[in-house]
Protein backbone atom coordinates (compact mmCIF):
# COMPACT_ATOMS: atom_id res chain seq x y z
CA UNK A 1 0.00 0.00 0.00
CA UNK A 2 1.05 3.57 -0.40
CA UNK A 3 -0.05 7.16 -0.59
CA UNK A 4 -2.60 8.06 -3.27
CA UNK A 5 -1.97 11.79 -3.37
CA UNK A 6 -0.22 14.64 -1.61
CA UNK A 7 -1.57 18.17 -1.36
CA UNK A 8 0.73 21.01 -0.25
CA UNK A 9 -0.56 24.47 0.65
CA UNK A 10 1.04 27.68 1.91
CA UNK A 11 -0.79 30.91 2.70
CA UNK A 12 1.51 33.94 2.38
CA UNK A 13 1.18 37.60 3.13
CA UNK A 14 2.20 40.31 0.70
CA UNK A 15 5.60 40.65 2.42
CA UNK A 16 6.55 36.98 1.90
CA UNK A 17 8.78 36.03 -1.03
CA UNK A 18 6.31 34.01 -3.11
CA UNK A 19 8.95 33.02 -5.69
CA UNK A 20 11.25 31.62 -3.00
CA UNK A 21 8.41 29.59 -1.48
CA UNK A 22 7.47 28.29 -4.96
CA UNK A 23 11.08 27.22 -5.58
CA UNK A 24 11.13 25.32 -2.29
CA UNK A 25 7.85 23.57 -3.16
CA UNK A 26 9.17 22.54 -6.58
CA UNK A 27 12.33 21.20 -4.95
CA UNK A 28 10.24 19.06 -2.57
CA UNK A 29 7.98 17.78 -5.35
CA UNK A 30 9.76 17.61 -8.72
CA UNK A 31 10.91 19.94 -11.48
CA UNK A 32 7.71 19.53 -13.52
CA UNK A 33 5.40 20.25 -10.59
CA UNK A 34 2.52 22.57 -11.35
CA UNK A 35 1.90 25.19 -8.73
CA UNK A 36 -1.25 27.21 -8.37
CA UNK A 37 -0.75 30.73 -7.02
CA UNK A 38 -3.86 32.74 -6.29
CA UNK A 39 -4.19 36.11 -4.65
CA UNK A 40 -6.95 37.45 -2.52
CA UNK A 41 -7.65 39.56 0.50
CA UNK A 42 -7.88 38.64 4.14
CA UNK A 43 -10.91 39.47 6.24
CA UNK A 44 -9.26 42.77 7.19
CA UNK A 45 -8.32 43.66 3.60
CA UNK A 46 -4.63 42.76 3.50
CA UNK A 47 -3.38 41.04 0.35
CA UNK A 48 -2.53 37.37 0.69
CA UNK A 49 -1.38 34.64 -1.68
CA UNK A 50 -2.25 30.96 -1.60
CA UNK A 51 0.27 28.60 -3.16
CA UNK A 52 -0.90 25.03 -3.78
CA UNK A 53 0.60 21.97 -5.39
CA UNK A 54 -0.61 18.42 -5.76
CA UNK A 55 1.09 15.15 -6.56
CA UNK A 56 -1.24 12.39 -7.76
CA UNK A 57 0.97 10.21 -9.95
CA UNK A 58 2.67 7.36 -8.08
CA UNK A 59 6.07 8.41 -9.39
CA UNK A 60 5.61 11.97 -8.12
CA UNK A 61 4.33 10.80 -4.73
CA UNK A 62 7.29 8.40 -4.37
CA UNK A 63 9.73 11.17 -5.24
CA UNK A 64 8.16 13.51 -2.69
CA UNK A 65 8.22 10.80 -0.02
CA UNK A 66 11.86 10.12 -0.83
CA UNK A 67 12.64 13.82 -0.32
CA UNK A 68 11.37 13.71 3.27
CA UNK A 69 14.27 13.31 5.71
CA UNK A 70 14.45 10.06 7.67
CA UNK A 71 14.68 12.02 10.94
CA UNK A 72 11.33 13.66 10.21
CA UNK A 73 9.70 10.33 9.33
CA UNK A 74 10.97 8.88 12.60
CA UNK A 75 9.64 11.91 14.46
CA UNK A 76 6.21 11.50 12.83
CA UNK A 77 6.10 7.83 13.83
CA UNK A 78 7.22 8.57 17.40
CA UNK A 79 4.60 11.28 17.87
CA UNK A 80 1.90 8.90 16.70
CA UNK A 81 0.05 9.00 13.42
CA UNK A 82 -3.35 8.64 15.10
CA UNK A 83 -3.44 12.33 16.04
CA UNK A 84 -2.48 13.35 12.48
CA UNK A 85 -5.04 11.22 10.62
CA UNK A 86 -8.65 12.20 10.03
CA UNK A 87 -11.71 10.03 9.32
CA UNK A 88 -11.16 10.29 5.55
CA UNK A 89 -7.82 8.41 5.71
CA UNK A 90 -5.89 11.64 5.20
CA UNK A 91 -2.72 12.36 7.12
CA UNK A 92 -2.20 16.03 8.06
CA UNK A 93 1.04 17.61 9.20
CA UNK A 94 2.78 20.96 9.02
CA UNK A 95 6.29 21.99 8.12
CA UNK A 96 8.16 25.02 9.40
CA UNK A 97 8.02 27.55 6.54
CA UNK A 98 11.21 29.41 7.54
CA UNK A 99 13.24 26.18 7.50
CA UNK A 100 11.43 25.02 4.35
CA UNK A 101 12.62 27.97 2.26
CA UNK A 102 16.17 27.30 3.49
CA UNK A 103 15.95 23.82 1.98
CA UNK A 104 15.37 21.95 5.24
CA UNK A 105 12.23 19.90 5.82
CA UNK A 106 11.32 20.18 9.52
CA UNK A 107 8.02 19.57 11.30
CA UNK A 108 6.41 22.76 12.55
CA UNK A 109 5.60 22.63 16.25
CA UNK A 110 4.55 25.20 18.78
CA UNK A 111 5.25 28.73 17.62
CA UNK A 112 6.76 27.38 14.37
CA UNK A 113 3.35 25.99 13.37
CA UNK A 114 1.86 29.49 13.13
CA UNK A 115 3.04 30.11 9.54
CA UNK A 116 3.29 26.57 8.16
CA UNK A 117 3.52 24.58 4.99
CA UNK A 118 0.42 22.39 5.25
CA UNK A 119 0.69 18.87 3.88
CA UNK A 120 -2.15 16.38 3.38
CA UNK A 121 -1.43 12.81 2.33
CA UNK A 122 -4.29 10.55 1.25
CA UNK A 123 -3.54 7.00 2.42
CA UNK A 124 -4.34 4.10 0.11
CA UNK A 125 -6.28 1.54 2.13
CA UNK A 126 -9.22 -0.68 1.36
CA UNK A 127 -12.16 -2.04 3.37
CA UNK A 128 -10.90 -4.33 6.10
CA UNK A 129 -7.56 -2.53 6.33
CA UNK A 130 -6.62 -0.15 9.11
CA UNK A 131 -5.43 3.06 7.39
CA UNK A 132 -3.35 3.93 10.45
CA UNK A 133 -1.47 0.64 10.24
CA UNK A 134 -1.00 1.06 6.48
CA UNK A 135 0.48 4.54 7.02
CA UNK A 136 2.77 3.29 9.81
CA UNK A 137 4.08 0.49 7.58
CA UNK A 138 4.63 2.92 4.70
CA UNK A 139 6.53 5.46 6.80
CA UNK A 140 8.52 2.73 8.56
CA UNK A 141 9.62 1.46 5.15
CA UNK A 142 10.71 4.95 4.11
CA UNK A 143 12.56 5.58 7.34
CA UNK A 144 14.69 2.44 7.16
Which phi and psi angles does 72 have, rounded to 5°? -70, -40
Model confidence pLDDT, tens digit, residues 4-47: 999 999 999 989 999 999 999 999 988 778 899 999 998 999 99
- pTM of the model as a whole: 0.88
Question: DSSP secondary structure string, 31-76?
Answer: TT--EEEEEEE-TTS-EEEEEEEEE-SHHHHHHHHHHS-HHHHHHH
Per-residue pLDDT tens digits for 73-105: 888 888 888 889 999 999 999 999 999 999 999
* Helix pair angle (58-67, 18-28), 10° resolution: 110
Looking at CATH, the fold of the domain delimited by 3-143 is given as 50s Ribosomal Protein L5; Chain: A, (3.30.1440)
Query: What does the pLDDT look like over 117-131, one tens digit per residue?
Result: 999 999 998 888 899
Amino acid sequence: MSILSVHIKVICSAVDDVDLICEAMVKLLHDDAELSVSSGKTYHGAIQFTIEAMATRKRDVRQLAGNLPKSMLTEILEEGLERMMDDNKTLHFRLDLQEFVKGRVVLGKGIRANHPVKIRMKIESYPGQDPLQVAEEYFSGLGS
